[in-house]
Amino acid sequence: MSKIPINLAKSFAFEDPEMTGIADTAEWRDLVRHAETLKARRTTDLFAADPQRAADFSVEAAGVFLDFSKNKISREALAALLALANAVDVAGGIKRMVSGERINATENRAVLHVALRDFANRAYDLDGENLAQAVRAERARMVAFADAYAKGDLLGFTGEPLDTVVNIGIGGSDLGPRMVVDALKPYWLEGKRTFFVSNVDGRDLGDALDRVDPARTLFVIASKTFTTQETMTNASSARAWFLANGGAEETVARHFVALSTNERAVTAFGIDPANMFRFWDWVGGRFSLWSAIGLSIALQVGSANFERLLRGAHAMDEHFRSAPPAENLPVLLALVGVWTRNFQGVGAHAVLPYDQRLARLPAFLQQADMESNGKSVSLSGAPVGVSTGPIVFGEPGTNGQHAFYQLLHQGTDIVSADFIAAASTHNPIGDHHEKLLANFVAQPEALMVGKTEKQVWAELEKQDFPANEIERIAPHRAFHGDRPSNSILVDRLTPEALGAVIAMYEHKIFVQGLIWGVNSFDQWGVALGKELAKRILPKISPSAPPSTDHDASTNQIIDRINALRSAGTESENQKDRP
């Protein structure tokens, strides 16, 4: 096995200008050969030939069990993937991340979300600052605030206790806390409610404001940069609504807090820095629910359960830092994903939680994965040369089964999938959970095993179908099978289990980024649309002259919007104002 010097990303950038990419490495080519060999085999054949396959292609860590044996991968291919991980120095990459190296090179930032949930008393020095101390101090402020809220000690402008949170944020300042608050409903504090507002569509804010009492509501303005158009617009409108509904300038401080890295912008917005919970530029937005951005979680489930969530993530972190790659759950999950993506040509990945409480997990992972690894240049700026992050989508099971699983089972494209479930439920009702679990088990089996036309013939013959009818219908009722999936199981959806599952995915994404040689921690791809929206905003006006400075289609749409709004739909729009 050839060893690539230092790590692939660095060698692209500094060491070997001749290197065109990971696809030129001996390890990659070896994997291509394994994929070729496996074409003639079915996953079920691999099981038949290897009684230890299920056990050996499974791994458990921090209360999370992963069975990846239903992927069409051989022991040899797995060994080759581990060789690839070794060649790109995944272990070194992990060390560089947790030691605070500025691995987010395009933004010159460290990536230290692990420090936010480190209960092992590590120091985390960055530029001479002891991050651990700052993290502990800020968490102590959050805990004190959340505890006061839980006890009813935070009083609104009428002297009544606050009991409702409206979290205003978007992307990482929304998806994580929203997903966790939904997932941990059994842990909600009695009498407390949380609403999440993200979309700049005024209806999102309007729907929340329709349901809250200003005197009892705390607005949590969550934005790492405190410049995001959607969040700033929603926050301004929320404050205007508060002032128009009994609040006053001098009571804003009791009803508005900010979660941000940008003290100056928070102050400029009119929130006292005393009402600000801080985090730092080394916390990526999509990795930020463990920081002050998690305040809404702590307010809704209590500070102790928030800590349990962090401890679950910490347990996964400890495993990730110390387990050898061949036993490392996030590393193996990442490698199997690379296998399906790059050596089996799978372009889409379904996240399928068989748990209604995890309904927002697919949306959360969509950002975590697609914003991280939806890149086409390597760290050096050279084309990456291989396929990177897949399209991530999903829905809770069993709903998805009655919507898009048809394509998963019989479509022309192969989609990989993660099936996720908890063995026990917090809310047993009749045999609902058993039925849910039966489906959680059945679908991966169906995807892998499939059903041959011969089997369809035998079934239909038993039911006395005439042969000509069977001939007509059999191709439609056959399933090719051989479709890859992972099964991920926890005992129960506790805060610890949830923390561990989220951390598992964060690390999986990071490892895949290391292999592809991309920077998983920037998101320049979101910038252009934002810039153009700023330019277009003043043109969305009935009095604007015809648009001329965009392409013809864009000009046409702008003009059409203005014409429609001048023609009278504006009065309809008024109804939707909060």
Closest separation in Å from C-beta 370 to ligand F6P: 11
Closest separation in Å from C-beta 230 to ligand F6P: 8
113: left (phi over 0), alpha (psi -120 to 50) or beta: alpha
- Please enumerate in sequence order all residues whose Cβ is within 8 A of that of 135, keeping only pairs 6 or more positions apart, or say none: 115, 116, 118, 124
Strand ranges, E, within 156-293: 164-168, 193-197, 217-222, 256-260, 276-278
176: left (phi over 0), alpha (psi -120 to 50) or beta: alpha
Cβ closer to ligand F6P: 278 or 433?
A: 278
Active site residue 371: yes
Cβ closer to ligand F6P: 182 or 230?
A: 230
Active site residue 10: no
Yes or no: say if 272 and 252 are a contact pair by the CB < 8 Å rule.
no
Cβ closer to ligand F6P: 213 or 281?
A: 281
Cβ closer to ligand F6P: 150 or 276?
A: 276
What Rg do the C-alpha atoms of the chain give, in angstroms?
Answer: 26
Closest separation in Å from C-beta 262 to ligand F6P: 8
Concatenating the DSSP letter of every residue in 447-477 gives: HHH-B-HHHHHHHHHHTT--HHHHHHHHHHH
Residue 287 exposed, middle or buried by CB count within 10 Å (0-12, 13-18, 19+):
buried
Closest separation in Å from C-beta 523 to ligand F6P: 5
Closest separation in Å from C-beta 228 to ligand F6P: 3
Closest separation in Å from C-beta 530 to ligand F6P: 7
Cβ closer to ligand F6P: 6 or 537?
A: 537
Residue 563 token pair: 């014409």
Applying CB under 6 A, the residues found at the interface with ligand F6P are 170-173, 223-225, 228, 231, 285-286, 371, 523, 526
Cβ closer to ligand F6P: 231 or 305?
A: 231
Closest separation in Å from C-beta 361 to ligand F6P: 17
Q: How far is CA 461 from CA 26, 446, 476, in A?
A: 52, 22, 16
Cβ closer to ligand F6P: 167 or 523?
A: 523
Q: Alpha-carbon distance 274 to 287, whole Å?
A: 24
Secondary structure of residue 270 in the 3-state scheme: coil
Closest separation in Å from C-beta 336 to ligand F6P: 26
Closest separation in Å from C-beta 107 to ligand F6P: 11
b/e per residue, 481-507, with b = 16+ CB within 10 A?
bbbbbbbbbbeebbbbbbbbbbbbbbb
Closest separation in Å from C-beta 326 to ligand F6P: 33
Residue 253 token pair: 């401080």
b/e per residue, 338-372, with b = 16+ CB within 10 A?
bbbbbbbebebbbbbbbbbbbbbbbbbbbbbbbbb
Q: Alpha-carbon distance 544 to 539, whole Å?
A: 6
Residue 170 token pair: 């978007």
Q: How far is CA 314 from CA 152, 198, 318, 501, 504, in A?
A: 30, 28, 6, 11, 10
Active site residue 263: no
Of 36, 160, 327, 402, which is the active-site residue?
A: 402
Q: Alpha-carbon distance 74 to 186, whole Å?
A: 41
Q: For 421, phi and psi rounded to 5 degrees?
A: -155, 165
Cβ closer to ligand F6P: 110 or 170?
A: 170
Secondary structure of residue 101 in the 3-state scheme: coil
Cβ closer to ligand F6P: 126 or 292?
A: 292
Yes or no: say if 34 and 76 are a contact pair by the CB < 8 Å rule.
yes
Of 230, 307, 371, 506, which is the active-site residue?
A: 371
Q: For 217, phi and psi rounded to 5 degrees?
A: -110, 135
Q: Alpha-carbon distance 76 to 13, whole Å?
A: 31
Of 3, 435, 480, 530, which is the active-site residue?
A: 530
Cβ closer to ligand F6P: 98 or 258?
A: 258
Position of tokens 């991309």? 518
Closest separation in Å from C-beta 288 to ligand F6P: 7
159: left (phi over 0), alpha (psi -120 to 50) or beta: left
Cβ closer to ligand F6P: 195 or 364?
A: 364
Secondary structure of residue 239 in the 3-state scheme: helix
Active site residue ranges: 371, 402, 530
